[in-house]
Amino acid sequence: MVVTRLDSWLSEFGAPRRAEVQSPDVAGLLSDLERRYPRLRHRIRDESGSLRRFVRIFVDGVDISSLGGLKTPLAPTAVVDILHSIAGG
Q: Architecture of 2-84 per CATH? A: Roll (3.10)
Sorted by where each begins, the domain ranges of the chain are 2-84
- The model's pTM is 0.92
- pLDDT at 88 exceeding the cut of 70: no
**pLDDT at 87 (0 to 100):** 64
How many whole angstroms separate alpha carbon 58 and alpha carbon 54? Answer: 13
Tens digit of each residue's pLDDT (9 = 90 or more) over 32-87: 999 999 999 999 999 999 999 999 999 999 999 999 999 999 999 999 999 988 76
Strands in 55-59's sheet, in edge-to-edge order, are 18-21, 2-6, 79-84, 55-59, 62-63
**pLDDT at 39 (0 to 100):** 95
- pLDDT at 89 exceeding the cut of 70: no
Tell me how far CA of residue 14 lies from CA of 44, 73, 88, in angstroms.
Answer: 13, 26, 25
Residues 80 and 56 sit within 8 Å (Cβ to Cβ) = no
